[in-house]
Amino acid sequence: MDASLAPTAARPRGVTARAFALLSAGATVYLALVELGLWSLVLRARFELGAWPRASQGDGFLAPFVEASVDPREFGRHADVVYALLLGLAPALAVGLVSAPGGFLPGATRVARGVCALGLAVLAAVGLHLLLDPGAYWLWLLD
C-alpha cells in the first residue's frame, strides 16, 4: 500500500473542510445567480417601462394599494427562469448557512477559508437584501 494513501489524523479534517468549501462555493454561485436573475428582470422592466417597477402593495405590506406597474410574468421565459431559480433559494440559503462556517475547521486550507469567507459575504448580502428589500423588488416579483 502506498504511504500517501494511508489515513492520517489530519486528513479527515482537511477533507471535511474541502467538502464544506465546495458546498459553500455551490451555494454562493447559486445565490449570486438568483440575485443576478432578479436584478436583470428589474432592469429589463425599467428599460421597457421607463420607470422602476413597483408592487401593487406599494413599498411594503402596510402601504396603501397602488396599481402595479407591470406584472413580472409578462416577460415570458425571463421571468420563468427567475421563478425557477427562486425554488432553490431556501435550500441554497440553508446549505450556505451550514457549510460556510465549516470551512474554518482546523486543517482547512487557505483556499477553503477564502471560499467560505466569500460564501459568508454573499450569504449576508443576499440575506440583507431579502430582509430589507430596498425598492420592494422581491415584493414586486412575488406579488
Tens digits of pLDDT across the chain (143 residues)? 455 555 555 555 567 777 888 888 888 899 899 999 999 999 999 998 888 888 776 555 555 655 667 888 889 999 999 999 989 888 888 888 888 887 777 777 888 888 888 888 888 888 888 888 888 888 888 87
* Residue 5, in any domain of the structure: no
Residue-level pLDDT at 103: 76
Task: Give CA–CA dist 29/85, Å, rounded.
Answer: 12
Tell me how crowded residue 103 is: count the other CB atoms within 10 A of its CB.
28
* Residue 82, in any domain of the structure: yes
Residue-level pLDDT at 139: 83
Q: How many domains does the chain have?
A: 1
Residue-level pLDDT at 17: 76
* Residue 109, in any domain of the structure: yes
The residue range of the domain holding 90 is 11-142
Residue-level pLDDT at 3: 54
* Angle between helix 89-99 and helix 110-132 axes, rounded to 10 deg: 140
* Residue 59, in any domain of the structure: yes
Residue-level pLDDT at 41: 92
Q: Is the dihedral of CA 56, 60, 61, 65 positive or negative?
A: negative
* Residue 23, in any domain of the structure: yes
Residue-level pLDDT at 8: 55
Residue-level pLDDT at 61: 57
* Residue 102, in any domain of the structure: yes
**pTM for this predicted structure:** 0.76
* Residue 6, in any domain of the structure: no
* Residue 3, in any domain of the structure: no
